[in-house]
């Protein structure tokens, strides 16, 4: 196998298979970023005299050709090539001869991998942010559409107080705001340029690290060369934590939907085409999509812990253990994107039940409303609470504020910030607009 570190000996096939593992497949995700890093690096090498302008021109053109093959899908990692970095250098060397070997001057595969991963993670975080924003917009639209439709609120799985579809859907929209803030925090951790740190100790070439930082679009360099290498694992952990926050929001929403779809609740409905049936029970409409969202999000939530366990107990510097980070994080990035997209798709086909409160099981949903009404009329709160409690126990409670089956959210007089009568969707939208502004 062709390797950048080959010194005249080769590993056995068994050792290569064990140490390389799934890395060659995952490396294809990094191909475009490896070329981008190399293009910035050779421009910097020319600026400090390690390449001539003619060499720069030829290498740059060669890298552009590789980039086009990556974009059109024709680029491949050859069977006897260890990784993406080796493949790019081999292709340049085949085309340009010894000149192709010069692109590795002043860098190690360690900082090369770090650059690729950080550029990749920046793009994925930005993409996930945009997907979250699309879901946020859908939730807000539905919150406004159904803001008057009352929905029983539950605590401890017991009927509690009046809620509304507007409040429920708007809650998950606002939860996504804090999730985007976490994504932004992870982006800032990742947005530091490690190129030039080499294997963690720099080197004796007069590298212009500020130049490559500008060319690659990083906000600043990782200044300390050892700190740059210490970011391996920490960057992935921060990203895993951020997407884990999104996963937790989607997980809870999916659980709500599973429960609300149940005939015992019957709060929401989806077309038959978006549910599944039973092989034995012809009446079943199973919430398989929501159960898969919930399950996949649990896998995403486990990602941060797995990364933490992998990266602990190692001194500073590179260790081959880090190679496994891609195996852990990359699939989870794909999973969270799929879950966000599917949640958005399902929501756009959701129907709500606007006659829920016709069911007599919700007769006690308005006990707190009744206590508050009597308190506002002058009865001390504890006395009003006792009165209503006695009426409930004796089976003669009746809400005096109107027929529950005909009430709308605005009939209940909830006016404070964040209540069913004052959803604050505009303010939440403003918070999201601020959160997604990473520039």
Radius of gyration (C-alpha) of the chain in whole angstroms: 29
Query: How long is the chain?
Result: 439
Neighbour tally for 263: CB within 10 Å: 8
Catalytic residue among 53, 74, 156, 400: 156
Domain residue limits, the chain: 13-105, 110-354
DSSP collapsed to 3 states, 209-236: HHHHHHHHCCCEECCCHHHHHHHHHHHH
List, as one string, the DSSP characters of 32-75. Answer: HHHHHHHHHHHHHHHHTTSS-HHHHHHHHHHHHHHHHHHHHT--
Strands (E), 108-156: 150-155
**Ramachandran region, residue 163 (left: φ > 0; alpha: ψ -120 to 50; beta: rest):** beta
Cα 332 to Cα 338: distance, rounded to the nearest angstrom:
10
pLDDT at 12 (0 to 100): 65
Burial string for 87-116 (b: 16+ CB within 10 Å, else e) reads bbbbbbbeebeebbebbbebbbbbbbbbbb
- Phi (first) and psi of residue 97, to 5 degrees: 75, -145
Tens-binned pLDDT, residue by residue, of the chain (439 aa)? 555 545 555 566 666 565 556 667 788 899 999 999 999 999 999 999 999 999 999 999 999 999 999 999 999 988 888 888 889 999 999 999 999 999 999 999 899 999 999 999 999 999 999 999 999 999 999 999 999 999 999 999 999 999 999 999 999 999 999 999 999 999 999 999 999 999 889 999 999 999 999 999 999 999 999 999 989 899 999 999 999 999 999 999 999 999 999 999 999 999 988 887 666 776 778 889 999 999 999 999 999 999 999 888 888 877 778 888 999 999 999 999 999 999 999 999 999 999 999 999 998 999 999 999 999 999 999 999 999 999 999 999 999 988 988 999 999 989 999 999 999 999 999 999 999 998 6
| Burial of 281 from C-beta contacts in 10 A (0-12 / 13-18 / 19+) | exposed
Catalytic residue among 10, 219, 262, 278: 278
List, as one string, the DSSP characters of 180-213. Answer: HHHHHHHHHHH-EE-TT-TTTT--SS---HHHHH
**Ramachandran region, residue 151 (left: φ > 0; alpha: ψ -120 to 50; beta: rest):** beta
CA angle 326, 13, 69 (to 5 degrees): 50
CB 307 within 8 A of CB 121: no
Listed in sequence order, the residues at least 6 apart from 194 whose beta carbon sits closer than 8 Å to its beta carbon are 111, 114, 115, 118, 221, 222, 228, 229, 231
Pairing between β-strand 150-155 and β-strand 158-164 as defined by DSSP bridges: antiparallel
CB 222 within 8 A of CB 232: no
The CATH-assigned architecture of domain 110-354 is Up-down Bundle (1.20)
pLDDT in tens, 189-217: 999 999 999 988 999 999 999 999 999 99
Q: Where are the alpha helices (DSSP H) in 312-424?
A: 324-347, 367-376, 381-393
Cα 35 to Cα 33: distance, rounded to the nearest angstrom:
5
Using CA atoms, how far residue 134 sits from 168, 172, 344, 398, in Å, is 18, 13, 8, 43
CB 291 within 8 A of CB 254: yes
Domain 13-105 adopts which CATH fold? Fumarase C; Chain B, domain 1 (1.10.275)
DSSP-assigned letter for residue 422: B
Does 278 participate in catalysis according to the annotation? yes
pLDDT at 14 (0 to 100): 66
Using CA atoms, how far residue 167 sits from 192, 261, 419, in Å, is 40, 18, 7
Does 405 participate in catalysis according to the annotation? no
Cα 87 to Cα 315: distance, rounded to the nearest angstrom:
30
pLDDT in tens, 355-411: 999 999 998 999 999 999 999 999 999 999 999 999 999 999 999 988 988 999 999
Neighbour tally for 164: CB within 10 Å: 26
Find where tokens 């009927």 sit. Answer: 159
**CA 102 and chain centroid, separation:** 38
pLDDT at 16 (0 to 100): 58
| Burial of 15 from C-beta contacts in 10 A (0-12 / 13-18 / 19+) | exposed
DSSP-assigned letter for residue 168: H
pTM: 0.91
């Amino acid at each position: 196998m062709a390797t950048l570190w080959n010194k005249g000996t080769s590993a056995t096939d068994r050792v290569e298979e064990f140490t390389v593992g799934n890395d060659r497949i995952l490396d294809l995700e990094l191909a475009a970023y490896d070329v981008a890093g190399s293009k910035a690096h050779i421009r910097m090498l020319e600026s400090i005299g390690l390449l001539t302008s003619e060499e720069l021109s030829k290498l740059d053109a060669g890298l552009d050709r590789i980039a086009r093959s990556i974009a059109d899908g024709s680029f491949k990692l050859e069977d006897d090539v260890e990784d993406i970095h080796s493949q790019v250098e081999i292709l340049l060397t085949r085309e340009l001869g010894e000149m192709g070997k010069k692109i590795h001057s002043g860098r190690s595969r360690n900082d090369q991998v770090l650059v690729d991963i950080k550029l990749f993670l920046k793009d994925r975080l930005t993409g996930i942010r945009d997907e979250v924003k699309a879901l946020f917009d859908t939730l807000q639209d539905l919150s406004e559409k159904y803001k008057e439709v009352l929905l029983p609120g539950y605590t401890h799985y017991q009927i509690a107080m009046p809620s509304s579809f507007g409040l429920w859907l708007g809650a998950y929209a606002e939860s996504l705001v804090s999730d985007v803030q976490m994504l932004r925090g992870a982006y800032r951790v990742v947005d530091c340029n490690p190129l030039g740190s080499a294997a963690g100790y720099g080197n004796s070439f007069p590298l212009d690290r500020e130049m490559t930082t500008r060319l690659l679009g990083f906000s600043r360099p990782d200044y300390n060369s050892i700190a740059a290498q210490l970011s391996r694992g920490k960057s992935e952990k921060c990203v895993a934590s951020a997407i884990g926050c999104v996963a937790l929001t989607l997980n809870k929403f999916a659980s709500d939907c599973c429960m609300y779809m149940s005939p015992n609740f019957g709060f929401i409905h989806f077309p038959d085409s978006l549910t599944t049936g039973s092989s034995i029970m012809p009446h079943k409409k199973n919430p398989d999509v929501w159960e898969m969202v919930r399950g996949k999000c649990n896998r995403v939530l486990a990602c941060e812990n797995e990364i933490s366990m992998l990266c602990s107990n190692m001194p500073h510097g590179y260790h081959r253990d880090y190679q496994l980070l891609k195996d852990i994080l990359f699939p989870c990035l794909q999973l969270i994107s799929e879950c966000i997209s599917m949640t958005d798709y399902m929501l756009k086909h959701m129907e709500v039940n606007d006659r829920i409160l016709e069911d007599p099981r919700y007769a006690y949903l308005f006990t707190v409303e009744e206590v508050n009404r009597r308190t506002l009329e002058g009865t001390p709160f504890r006395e009003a609470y006792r009165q209503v409690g006695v009426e409930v126990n004796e089976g003669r409670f009746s809400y005096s504020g109107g027929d529950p089956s005909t009430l709308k959210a605005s009939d209940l007089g909830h006016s404070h910030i964040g209540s069913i009568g004052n959803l604050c969707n505009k303010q939440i939208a403003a918070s999201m607009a601020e959160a997604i502004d990473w520039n």
